[in-house]
A = this chain, B = another copy of it.
């Protein structure tokens, strides 16, 4: 289905060439538009023509780049998963003191929810789960592995409490963070910087016992 694949170019003898003009352009316009409208209305709540309109593209054009809505959602999910992981955990200097690293990651998470609310919301959406294929689920799992390893290492070093499994610890912290942001978005709470820092400290307590 997809197929980027630059038809071997350069060689003159290849008559295949043809035109593959603004592929990248429209394709990413569609992805970006989908991210926005899906984040706002949920995957099930948004018809394809709305995605097309947001992308300034004809409805049919979407199907030139994505075989179906389902495939579009999956591509979007994978693209975002990778970008987010890079953003949250990339370029971390693991030599720094643990507490500083913890604070830095927390800061990045908050920043991410502020600067890329659509991306964050889309990934936290539940209603696209039934759409996700094996590759997406696989990627989701892989993306978590390095962080899990960090938790384990910190337990072994005695920094984090070791009376529960690293998976459980990580799940608790992530859930606490996600629900905090959700409460704010749902209008149940309004969060000051102090609130966010205090929440971070509380999660640190959770980890260290």
Contacts and interface: CB of A to CB of B under 8 A. Distances in A.
Contacts of A177: 175
Interface string A149-171: 00000000000010111011101
A183 interface: yes
Interface residues of A, number: 41
Number of copies of this chain that the complex holds:
2
A7 B173 CA distance: 54
**Interface residues of A: mostly helix, strand, loop or mixed?**
helix
Interface in A94-118: none
B175 A178 contact: yes
Contacts of A188: 141, 167, 171
A93 interface: no
A82 interface: no
Contact of A183 (B171, B180, B199): B171
Nearest to A45: B130
Interface of A: 42, 44-45, 125-127, 130, 141, 161, 163-165, 167-169, 171-180, 182-183, 188-189, 191, 195, 198-199, 201-203, 205-209
